Amino acid sequence: MNLLSRLYYRHKKFWKTFRLFLMIAGPGIIVMVADNDAGGITTYSVTGAQYSFHLIWFLVLLGPVAYFVQEMTVRLGAVTKRGHAEAIFHSFGAFWGWFSLLDLVLVDWLTMITEFIGMTAALSIFGVPPVITVIGACLIMGAMVLQGKYWTWEKIALVFCVLNLIYIPAAFMIHPPIDKIIHGSFIPHLPPGGFTNGLFFLIMANIGTTIAPWMIFFQQSAVVDKGMQEKDMFWGKIDTAAGAFLTVVVAAFCVILTATLIPGLPINDAATAAHLFMGINKYVGTLLAIGLFDAGLLGAICISLASSWAFGEVFGWAHSLNQNVKQAPWFYAYYFFTLIFAGTVVLIPGAPLVLITLFVQVIAVTLLPAALVFLIILLNDEETMGKYKNNWFQNFANISIVALIIVVSTLYGISAVFQNILK
């Protein structure tokens, strides 16, 4: 009887804790899964096709990297109740504030265009014209925000996050060499051929896709809009850790897919991979195309909100998803402007889409180091953070990660501009 009552108590306690987690979970999982956006899926697909399973261990290492950076935004948002843009204006003054805001706007617009490129390419596999894809995506994203509740928006976004896991069943459908993956993919090693320029570029691309400037702005603003308090911080961290785990799992399965089905084929993007898959296994090709559309949609959902929140915070507009259009007209106007602008560019015949994709990498390099440095400084400011400031271990981990990201993303940006540098 005693054992039964103890079991019952534990069961009740577990479900109570789980329900609490479900209530607080959201921003961390969404931002991390959205990190596997159209550009991310493309990078993983190319990684798998070119280097088989040899770089999965590296993707696993990127999980903690993403967690450590994003965890800082949870603490900063919960303590200051300010989004990242507002925090920069407040702490570093107007010069750095405008620099960050305008850079964010530019990066977000350009990245949004790449998300739309991914979505239109994905649905073109099913014969859907780009104009229908763009209108459909805008309608979905519009409907998500216009219902007037942050909570509902978040739960719909979480459904799209679940859809992002589509790569897992897709990978199992093609019967990958599980033994080979388990025994040979998780121990750090170099792929056959050694350390080449091509490998270096792909490693940089994988790091570049793991931490993007919009992620920092998005999660901090989402934490504030959700009303997360200092007492919720623990669950916010678990939420972020769960998201980091999911992002690595999706990335690994994406690599497994292309490494198993199209090893050694010189593909440049995920849409090409999906086209090739359709010829080999149409079900897997279909899943990959759906996954790519979902990845682009998730990315676009988060990116458009990141800059709308940032503008709202700085200009003092009402900027919560809990407010309707009448209450926050400028917030929604900016949101829809971003959506329609990005969608329209993709539809312009002969638009320089490759140049835009290249530009994203370059502009992001100017914003990411600044956002990360501000994050570290703010997290070390006792007046701002009080007892939640970084401890020595967090500083050691975060400063090392930030230094690595700055060096690698700078090399990545420079190699995008000076393309012969790695040849």
Partner 1 sequence: MISESFGSALDAVREINRKYNKPHIKMTRAVQLSLGLLRFYLLFLVGLLVWKFFSELHK
Q: Which is nearer to partner 1, 259 or 411 (CB)?
A: 411
262 sits near partner 1 (criterion: CB under 8 A): no
Query: Concatenated DSSP letters for 148-214?
Result: --HHHHHHHHHHHHHHGGGHHHHHHHT---HHHHHHHSSS--PPTT-S-HHHHHHHHHHHHHHS-HH
* Amino acid at residue number 48: G
Contact mark string toward partner 1, 91..110, x via CB under 8 A: xxxx-xx-x-----------
418 sits near partner 1 (criterion: CB under 8 A): yes
Q: How far is the CB of 243 from partner 1 (least distance, A)?
A: 28
Q: 161-185: b or e for each residue (b if 16 or more CB lie within 10 Å)? A: bebbbbbbebbeeeebeeeebeeeb
- Specify the DSSP class assigned to residue 335: H
89 sits near partner 1 (criterion: CB under 8 A): yes
Answer yes or no: are the C-beta atoms of 317 and 328 closer than 8 Å. yes
Q: Which is nearer to partner 1, 140 or 406 (CB)?
A: 406
Q: Which is nearer to partner 1, 165 or 362 (CB)?
A: 362
Q: How far is the CB of 262 from partner 1 (least distance, A)?
A: 34
What is the rounded distance in angstroms from the CA atom of residue 110 to the CA atom of residue 99?
17
Q: How far is the CB of 316 from partner 1 (least distance, A)?
A: 8
Q: Which is nearer to partner 1, 94 or 280 (CB)?
A: 94
Write out the H or E segment, with its range, that includes residue 111. Answer: helix 84-124
- Contacting residue, 122, 259, 365, 375, with partner 1 by CB under 8 A: 365
Query: Concatenated DSSP letters for 115-128?
Result: HHHHHHHHHHTTT-
165 sits near partner 1 (criterion: CB under 8 A): no
**Distance (Å) of CA 239 to CA 26, 219, 274:** 7, 11, 31
377 sits near partner 1 (criterion: CB under 8 A): yes
Q: Which is nearer to partner 1, 179 or 383 (CB)?
A: 383
396 sits near partner 1 (criterion: CB under 8 A): no
318 sits near partner 1 (criterion: CB under 8 A): no
303 sits near partner 1 (criterion: CB under 8 A): no
148 phi, psi to nearest 5 deg:
80, 15
What is the rounded distance in angstroms from the CA atom of residue 188 to the CA atom of residue 177?
19
Q: How far is the CB of 405 from partner 1 (least distance, A)?
A: 13
Q: How far is the CB of 329 from partner 1 (least distance, A)?
A: 14
Q: Is 386 exposed, middle or buried (0-12, 13-18, 19+ CB in 10 A)?
A: exposed
Write out the H or E segment, with its range, that includes residue 99. Answer: helix 84-124
The stretch among 28-36, 151-159, 196-204, 413-421 that binds partner 1 (CB under 8 A) is 413-421
Query: What is the SS3 assignment for 292-307?
Result: HHHHHHHHHHHHHHHH
315 sits near partner 1 (criterion: CB under 8 A): yes
Cβ-Cβ contacts under 8 Å for 2 (sequence gap 6 or more): none
The stretch among 156-164, 171-179, 231-239, 414-422 that binds partner 1 (CB under 8 A) is 414-422
388 sits near partner 1 (criterion: CB under 8 A): no
Q: Which is nearer to partner 1, 173 or 377 (CB)?
A: 377
Answer yes or no: are the C-beta atoms of 82 and 224 closer than 8 Å. yes
Q: Which is nearer to partner 1, 92 or 337 (CB)?
A: 92
Q: Which is nearer to partner 1, 272 or 307 (CB)?
A: 307
- Contacting residue, 174, 362, 385, 422, with partner 1 by CB under 8 A: 362
Write out the H or E segment, with its range, that includes residue 334. Answer: helix 329-347
Q: Which is nearer to partner 1, 124 or 395 (CB)?
A: 395
Query: Concatenated DSSP letters for 365-385?
Result: HHHHHHHHHHHHHHHT-HHHH
329 sits near partner 1 (criterion: CB under 8 A): no
Q: Which is nearer to partner 1, 262 or 375 (CB)?
A: 375
Q: How far is the CB of 373 from partner 1 (least distance, A)?
A: 5
What is the rounded distance in angstroms from the CA atom of residue 4 to the CA atom of residue 345?
63
Q: Is 207 exposed, middle or buried (0-12, 13-18, 19+ CB in 10 A)?
A: buried
Q: Which is nearer to partner 1, 158 or 362 (CB)?
A: 362
Q: How far is the CB of 294 from partner 1 (least distance, A)?
A: 34
394 sits near partner 1 (criterion: CB under 8 A): no
| Dihedral angle computed from the Cα positions of residues 202, 205, 206 and 208, in that order, rounded to the nearest 10 degrees | 160
- Interacting residue ranges for partner 1, rule: CB under 8 A: 89-94, 96-97, 99, 314-315, 362, 365-366, 369-370, 373, 376-378, 380-381, 383-384, 406, 410, 413-414, 417-418
